[in-house]
Structure 1
Amino acid sequence: MAPLVALLTGSLLARSVGLVGVDALDGWWPALRVGLALMFLVTGLAHFARARRQGLVAMVPPALPNPALLVTVTGVLELAGAAGLLLPATARPAAACLALLMLLMFPANYSAARRRLQLGGRPVTPLAVRLPLQVLFVAAALAVAVG
């Protein structure tokens, strides 16, 4: 749920700052960019946090090679995408790339849910919850990508 909280909180706070006079955040598009950037900062950093990394490595479908490397690469891509979202010139392509990345990473979430893995001592998000969240996250990224 941390990604959802980061997306919603970041977007609402950024929009509030825009409403009180910060022109760069005056509108839902820039506010959503900030919310997505915060979400990907949170999820990207999780790829490197000792407590979360092992669980993320375990989530990688067994058929894929070198799960630790895949977790590192996707973490770097998420952090780079978060930075790209904050720059208006790169926000659209960054958002499009992040939407694609989320689609490519969804099999790991599916695999983890089917295998009933634990992440940080808690079961991974069930598919009935994860799928609508994933649709929301991809839709938010696509909304930024198309403006």
Structure 2
Amino acid sequence: MEPLITLVAVTGLLLLAGEFGAVRFQRSDALRGGLAAVFLLTGGAHFVGMRQELVAMVPPALPAPELLVTLTGTAELACALGLLWSRTARVSAAVLSALLVVMFPANVHASGGDVPWWDRLGPRTAVQCVFLAATVSVLVCHGRAAAGSAGTAPSDSPLGSHRS
């Protein structure tokens, strides 16, 4: 549940900061910031705090659960940082979208047994769909922004595409 709260809170705070002029960026950049916060949180959990729980989530049919958790955690951290840079945001969103789909069997595996309601398959699936919708939105919106600004140099600043 913490990742969903993180997505909503960070995206909302960035939108609010933008409305009050504290930061200058387009609204779609707030979602990139929220997603970056989520995947820094979840990617970090692959190494600190929840590693053993995540290893246990790997379906038994898959080999080398520790290695899979390390690889997916590294990918999440790298893509979280990639979301913050305009030039890599689109590819990072695409990789994260693929990861969400590929890692879904781990959510199915973890939803069995005696778990709290938020860890059951229905809520896990709903939250996964929210994250997938957010990553696909960044992929699509950032693709349109890049196509709309063809001929201009992409921004190198964090969360890119500043208003003038």
Quote the offset at 1:101 in angstroms: 0.4
Q: Which TM-score applies when normalising by structure 2? A: 0.81
Gaps spanning 5+ residues in structure 1: where? none
Paired with 2:4 and 2:118, the residues of 1 have a C-alpha distance of 15
Indicate the residue corresponding to 1:95 in structure 2: 93
Gaps spanning 5+ residues in structure 2: where? 142-164
Alpha-carbon RMSD across the aligned residues, in angstroms, is 1.6
The letter of the residue matching 1:15 is L
Distance 1:112 1:60, change over 3 A: same
- Relative contact order, higher structure (CA 8 A, sep 6+): 2
Moved over 4 A (4+): none
Paired with 1:85 and 1:48, the residues of 2 have a C-alpha distance of 20
> Is 1:128 the counterpart of 2:127 in the alignment?
no
The letter of the residue matching 1:35 is G
Paired with 1:89 and 1:15, the residues of 2 have a C-alpha distance of 21
Q: Which TM-score applies when normalising by structure 1? A: 0.90
**Are the counterparts in 2 of residues 59 and 117 from structure 1 also a CA contact under 8 Å?**
no
Give the structure with the higher percent helix: 1
> Is 1:139 the counterpart of 2:137 in the alignment?
no
Indicate the residue corresponding to 1:76 in structure 2: 74
**Are the counterparts in 2 of residues 85 and 95 from structure 1 also a CA contact under 8 Å?**
yes
The alignment-based identity, stated in percent, is: 49
Instruction: Work out the number of aligned pairs and report it.
Output: 140
Written as runs of structure 1 = structure 2, the 5 A alignment for 1:1-147 is: 1-21=1-21, 22-24=23-25, 26-27=26-27, 29-49=28-48, 51-114=49-112, 116=113, 125-147=119-141
